[in-house]
Amino acid sequence: MTEKDFIPSKYQELKEQGQVSYTSPSNIALVKYWGKKENQIPANPSISFTLEACATTTSLKYKKRAGDNSDFSFDLLFQGEPKPSFKPKIEQFFKRVISYLPFLTQYHLIIETSNSFPHSSGIASSASGMSALALCLMELEKEFVPTMTSELFVQKASFLSRLGSGSACRSIEGDLVQWGKHKNIEGSTDLYGIKYPYEVHPIFKNYHDTILLVDKGEKQVSSTVGHDLMHGHPFAEQRFSQAHKNLENLKVIFKEGNLKEFIKIVESEALTLHAMMMTSQPYFILMKPNTLEIINKIWDFREKSKTNVCFTLDAGANVHVLYPEVEKAEVFQFIQDELVAYCQNQQYICDRIGFGAKKLSVK
Ligand code: DP6
């Protein structure tokens, strides 16, 4: 597939009005996307667990506008209230996708969106939010192209999500999604996420992710700015080739269920991501003292308990604690006894690996 394959041929007839709705989850990267080229093309391939509990639900009401319009017309409601501060990001998204969804200017849209996770929890909502919106727009396009295959639907939903926010393209499906061209992963592409195509050991099937909310404040540096700082970064090239190698090594690990090796890659990826931030110009630190306290506690407990608990981080201070289903009782007890104290207001979210977005029925 190339970009051109996502430009639709002429629509038959546009519907007057209607409503569609989707719920789409967040995801947590094991090999991180950090650095991008023009048009949301990733500098290196990445892979993530799709999550289940952290999700955005979006409903889209559409009504045909009179005349021939070239601007966008939409209202945005977040958790039931108008949210003007989100509008520029949506407007930018519409501009990026208009050539792939030419019907957009012909409608007035009312976008109502809400998150399952607490507002300003420091959890990035761009992956779930952008993928939920992209799916609603695809559902609308499907109304005009009833012959669209489900394969094209899913690929284009991921393609559009990527143009909204890179990591969002990994939220359409589950449970392991790979994005970005890798020479030894068949079907991999920079344009959209694909379901990881090789054998995965059952130990990875019900993986848990308990998200410890260490700092719920607004980040000082956005991901978009962080990606940008990889241009001219002194370690960029080594980092991008390391991501390729880590993905290669994960193939055998996923197949054999080797958790010791899995942990080495996942934790190294998390720390490398933050090392890139600390060595960019300007440099910055998103971890907080409690992030490090938690990491050290996890290492101590793993040593003592001989369990396979490990951590990963996204672009913030929160810690994602990962562990397999068979170790749930022991690790969760540890989290409650020893880690929750380091969370802001003792807050955490119990999430687990999930299977992607779902269409919701509308009344
Ligand atoms: C650290 O997808 O939020 O979570 O494409 O600029 O919207 P934009 O960036 P975004 O970056 C996420 C980076 C990350 C790692 C990852 O999810 O792979």
Same domain, 164 and 223: no
Is the model's pLDDT at 347 over the cut of 70?
Answer: yes
pLDDT of residue 260: 98
pLDDT of residue 43: 98
CATH number of the domain that residue 255 is part of: 3.30.70.890
pLDDT (average), residues 184-199: 98
Same domain, 272 and 155: no
Last residue of a domain, one of 199, 220, 251: 199
Residue 205 lies in a domain: no
Residue 361 lies in a domain: no
Residue 204 lies in a domain: no
Amino acid at 153: F
Is the model's pLDDT at 96 over the cut of 70?
Answer: yes
The total of other beta-carbon atoms located within 10 Å of residue 322's CB is 26
Amino acid at 33: Y
Residue 312 lies in a domain: yes
Is the model's pLDDT at 9 over the cut of 90?
Answer: no
Q: By alpha-carbon position, which residue is closest to atom 3 of ligand 1?
A: 223
Q: Quick one: pLDDT band at residue 121, thresholds 50, 70, 90?
A: low
Question: How many angstroms separate the CA atoms of 117 and 126, rounded?
Answer: 13
Higher pLDDT: 76 or 118? It is 76
Q: By alpha-carbon position, which residue is closest to atom 6 of ligand 1?
A: 224
pLDDT of residue 122: 67
Residue 206 lies in a domain: no
Same domain, 33 and 113: yes
Q: Please provide residue 220's backbone torsions phi and psi, each rounded to the nearest 5 degrees.
A: -75, -30
Is the model's pLDDT at 33 over the cut of 70?
Answer: yes
Q: Which atom of ligand 1 is nearest to the CA of 162?
A: 5
Same domain, 155 and 225: no
Domain count, the chain: 2
Distance 277 CA to ligand 1 centre (A): 13
Last residue of a domain, one of 176, 199, 222: 199
pLDDT (average), residues 257-271: 98
pLDDT of residue 74: 98
Question: How many angstroms separate the CA atoms of 132 and 11, rounded?
Answer: 23
CB 118 within 8 A of CB 54: no
Amino acid at 3: E
Q: Give the dihedral of Cα atoms 70, 75, 76, 81; nearest 10 deg.
A: 170
DSSP 3-state of 28? strand
pLDDT of residue 227: 97
Same domain, 39 and 73: yes
HSE value, Cβ hemisphere, 13 Å, CA-based, for 163: 23
Beta bridge partners of 208: 323, 352
Q: Which atom of ligand 1 is nearest to the CA of 226?
A: 6
| Range of the structural domain that residue 220 is part of | 211-352
Q: By alpha-carbon position, which residue is closest to atom 4 of ligand 1?
A: 314
Residue 360 lies in a domain: no
Is the model's pLDDT at 36 over the cut of 70?
Answer: yes
- State the sign of the Cα–Cα–Cα–Cα dihedral 143, 52, 219, 167: negative
Identify the burial level of 25 via C-beta atoms within 10 angstroms of its C-beta, where 0-12 means exposed, 13-18 middle and 19 or more buried.
buried
Same domain, 170 and 92: yes
Q: Which of 64, 54, 188, 184 is nearest to 132 (CA)?
A: 54
Q: Which atom of ligand 1 is nearest to the CA of 224?
A: 6
Look over the chain and give the mean of its residue pLDDT values, rounded to a whole number: 96
pLDDT of residue 219: 74
Same domain, 124 and 219: no
Same domain, 192 and 230: no
Ligand 1 neighbours, Cβ below 6 Å, are 29, 32-34, 40, 46, 124, 126, 165-167, 223-224, 227, 273, 314-315
Kindly state the tokens that stand for 257.
């269920």
Same domain, 237 and 304: yes
Q: Which of 335, 322, 334 is nearest to 203 (CA)?
A: 322
User: In the chain, which residue ranges form alpha helices assigned H by DSSP?
Assistant: 87-97, 126-144, 150-164, 223-228, 236-256, 259-278, 289-305, 328-334
Q: At what angle do helices 87-97 and 150-164 cross, to 10 degrees?
A: 130
Is the model's pLDDT at 120 over the cut of 80?
Answer: no
Distance 15 CA to ligand 1 centre (A): 35
pLDDT (average), residues 109-129: 86
What percent of the chain clears pLDDT 70, i.e. is strictly above it?
99
Residue 330 lies in a domain: yes
Distance 297 CA to ligand 1 centre (A): 27
Last residue of a domain, one of 199, 228, 258: 199
CB 298 within 8 A of CB 291: no
Sequence-distant (≥ 6) Cβ neighbours of residue 88 within 8 angstroms = none
Is the model's pLDDT at 216 over the cut of 90?
Answer: no
Residue 224 lies in a domain: yes
- Pocket probe for ligand 1: among 54, 167, 318, the residue whose CB has the most ligand atoms within 8 Å is 167
